């Protein structure tokens, strides 16, 4: 379905909101949700992009997850609206609108997401109530903390396993997707449960609404793609603060994420290769895949790269030295972040190295089939892994339905990600 007519109408709703015509913007969105015909607008998304190019603050855009955990919902085409576009209008409007209007637009965006099934796939589990064992295994702790620097402040939650008694342990940094929060992400991925088994610390930085109205990491903004600036400096600062305050093995620090969080994790690997010994990317994008609103749309929708290095050029990234071991998961029916982006992450990580590869095919009993491609160095050590999950959409593979944006039908991305991480450590000379 061509989303441009609705994108233009949402651009008009953003313009109305910024002009203070809040009632008209709300009515426009409501008519779109009902599937009614809305007159063509002369000032839409193209106008917003043009203004952004002229120096205005661009709309906030993010890799919004399709809520495929909801089943038996009508497809989005019946309502004439795409939930990701609803997120865009909500996020853009929230930069300037009054609080009550933000709340109203957020409710409309949420309704749009509830009215669609993501990929329209049957049989996916409805979300279950969240319970304490989903988040904090028995004997563990999940504590709140905050980090601040010149770029701002971010809250985070840290999971401390019951087996942590002082000796240095691995640390995993987990970056949530859009609309998510640490508790939700921990419940959905069950990473705390897996970390409890392996005695690892897990830290979950939280993106607040005042940084992005949909709580997405701003992976596409040039200022949030550089070492020592913006969100990378905050995430690195959180990592270092935990390393300072707890007994962490500096050679075994890793970072992973989902969607916008996965894109941010790739940025962190590129900008802070001296901290992270491995990267986990679930439904994410390559570093510098986008530099603004239109290039972000292109990367998400078609897997086209129009970022800082131009279309098709993904070999140059901010990191130096040897490539960081990377594991990638992507559903081949992801209609929010194009599956081609998983290929770009691997290609960027390899940096044109001609590594031998092996391909394995499998199926989770009662769940998804998958193709697992392994790239190894001359010694036979796995450096990169790519999991193409057949029939899966934009959701954490093997996740717990107590969290949002999960697909319980596997494979288990959390266990595979941690297994991959613990096979790698930072060379001693780099610590």
Residue from 286, 268, 285 nearest 277 by CA: 268
Instruction: Return all residues near 296 (Cβ < 8 A) that are at least 6 apart.
Output: 61, 220, 289, 290
Measured in whole angstroms, the distance separating CA 166 from the mean position of its chain's CA atoms is 32
> 170-206 as b/e, with b when 16 or more CB fall inside 10 Å?
bbbbbbbbbbbbbbbbbbbbbbbbbbbebebbbbbbb
Q: CA-CA-CA-CA torsion for 305, 311, 316, 319, nearest 10 degrees?
A: -20
Q: Kind of pairing, strands 357-363 and 369-376? A: antiparallel
Q: Which of 259, 295, 397, 414 is catalytic?
A: 259
In angstroms, the CA 414 to CA 211 distance is 27
Could you confirm whether 259 is annotated as catalytic? yes
Edge to edge, the sheet with strand 201-205 lists 141-149, 152-160, 201-205, 169-175, 248-258, 278-282, 326-331, 382-390, 369-376, 357-363
| Cβ atoms within 10 Å, residue 82 | 23
CB contact at 8 A, 232 and 149: no
Which run of H or of E encompasses 51? helix 45-53
Rounded Cα distance, 41 and 6, in Å = 10
The sign of the CA dihedral 177, 178, 182, 188 is negative
As annotated, the active-site residues are: 259
């Amino acid at each position: 379905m061509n989303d441009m007519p609705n994108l233009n109408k949402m651009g008009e709703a953003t313009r109305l909101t910024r002009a203070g015509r809040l009632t008209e913007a709300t009515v426009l969105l409501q008519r779109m949700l009902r599937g009614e015909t809305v007159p063509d607008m002369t000032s839409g998304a193209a106008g917003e992009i043009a203004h952004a190019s002229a120096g205005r603050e661009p709309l906030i855009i993010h890799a919004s997850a399709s809520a495929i955990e909801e089943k038996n919902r009508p497809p989005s085409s019946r309502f004439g609206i795409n939930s990701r576009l609803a997120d865009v209008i909500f996020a853009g409007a929230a930069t300037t609108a009054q609080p009550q209007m933000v709340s109203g637009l957020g409710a409309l965006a949420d309704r749009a997401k509830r009215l669609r099934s993501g990929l329209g796939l049957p049989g996916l589990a409805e979300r279950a109530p969240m319970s304490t064992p989903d988040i904090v295994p028995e004997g563990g702790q999940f504590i709140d903390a905050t980090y601040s620097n010149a770029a701002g402040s971010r809250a985070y939650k840290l999971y401390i396993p019951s087996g942590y008694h002082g000796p240095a342990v691995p640390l995993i940094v987990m970056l949530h997707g859009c609309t998510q929060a640490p508790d939700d992400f921990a419940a959905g991925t069950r990473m705390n449960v897996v970390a409890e088994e392996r005695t690892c610390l897990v830290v979950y930085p939280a993106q607040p609404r005042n940084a992005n109205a949909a709580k997405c990491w701003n992976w596409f903004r040039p200022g949030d793609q550089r070492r020592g600036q913006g969100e990378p400096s905050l995430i690195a600062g959180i990592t270092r603060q935990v390393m300072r305050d707890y007994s962490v093995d500096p050679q075994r620090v890793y970072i992973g994420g989902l969607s916008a969080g996965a894109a941010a994790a790739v940025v962190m690997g590129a900008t802070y290769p001296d901290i992270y010994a491995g990267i986990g990317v679930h439904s994410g994008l390559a570093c510098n895949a986008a530099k603004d609103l239109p290039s972000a749309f292109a990367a998400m929708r078609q897997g086209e790269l129009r970022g800082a290095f131009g279309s098709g050029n993904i070999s140059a990234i901010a990191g130096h030295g040897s490539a960081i071991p990377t594991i990638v998961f992507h559903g081949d029916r992801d209609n929010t972040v194009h599956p081609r982006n998983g290929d770009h992450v691997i290609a960027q990580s390899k940096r044109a190295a001609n590594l031998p590869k092996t391909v394995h095919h499998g199926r989770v009993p009662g769940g998804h089939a998958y193709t697992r491609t392994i790239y190894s160095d001359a010694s036979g050590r796995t450096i990169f892994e790519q999991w193409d999950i057949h029939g899966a959409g934009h959701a954490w593979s093997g996740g717990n339905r107590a969290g949002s944006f999960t697909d319980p039908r596997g494979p288990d991305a959390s266990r595979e990600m941690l297994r991959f991480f613990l096979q790698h450590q930072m060379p001693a000379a780099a610590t």
